[in-house]
Amino acid sequence: MTDPDLNRPKTLMELAGAPEWATPTAGEAAVILIDAQQEYVTGALPLEGIDDALGEVRRLRDRAEDLGLPVIHVRHVGRPGGLFDIEAEGGKFCGVAEPGDGEIVVDKALPNAFAGTDLQDRLAGLGVRKLIVAGFMTHMCVSSTVRAALDLGYSSAVVANACTSRALPVPGGGVLSGVDVHRAALTALADRFAFVLEDAGAI
């Protein structure tokens, strides 16, 4: 009798026998919230499902507090008068993502939160090697950061419900919905780059 599992597509992580995600202890991991800014809510780049995603960001912050995990806020800094101008509404943190007292803020100018920033030094100072990543957009800054994290020797998890994306034109014609862009990005990350956790409760 043929084993139906033989023909099931498998991720590279499965094929390598990678262990399942284990809930980190205090001092083992940090939460990284990427670009939870108003540009994605009321600005020029409104995202599909942003209200639900921000609700999950709130739950993620509560979960981090329960587990004793530090939270690092990554903020995209755009040009004055443009997208993500931090002196304008679009560059402001969303209410549920407003940094708390003592929480680290890292400013970036590129999708990858490690590029041209002190994020790696901050993580080294905390002594963590695991990252729990959430924010916006899934296919852009979340993906870029998680991929870079692997190159730097970190193990990452992405909280799916605390991320989202926007609709994009398909090369050659058509449009991919924000939901499908989000799912495709998570699928690609789950192949090799990160554990994909449904929600904060799965941490």
What are the domain boundaries of the chain? 24-202
Q: Give me the catalytic one of 94, 108, 130, 163.
A: 108
Whether 141 is catalytic is yes
Mean pLDDT, the chain, whole residue set = 96
Residue 134 in tokens: 């959430």
Whether 108 is catalytic is yes
Whether 10 is catalytic is no
Q: What is the pLDDT of residues 74-86, one digit of tens each?
A: 999 999 999 999 9
Buried b (16+ CB within 10 A) or exposed e, 5-44: eeeeeebebeeeeeeebeebeeebbbbbbbbbbbbbbebe
Q: What is the pLDDT of residues 33-69, one digit of tens each?
A: 999 999 999 999 999 999 999 999 999 999 999 999 9
> Nearest Cα to 198, choosing from 155, 169, 151, 161?
161
Structure confidence at residue 7 (pLDDT): 78
DSSP state of 62: H
Structure confidence at residue 194 (pLDDT): 98
Q: Give me the catalytic one of 35, 92, 94, 163.
A: 35
Residue 203: how many CA atoms within 13 Å on its side-chain side?
A: 35
| pTM, full prediction | 0.95
Residue 4 confidence (pLDDT) above 70: no
In this structure, are residues 182 and 56 in contact, taking their beta carbons and an 8 Å threshold?
no
Q: What is the pLDDT of residues 127-182, one digit of tens each?
A: 999 999 999 999 999 999 999 999 999 999 999 999 999 999 999 999 999 999 99
Q: Give me the catalytic one of 92, 94, 130, 141.
A: 141
- CATH number of the structural domain 24-202: 3.40.50.850
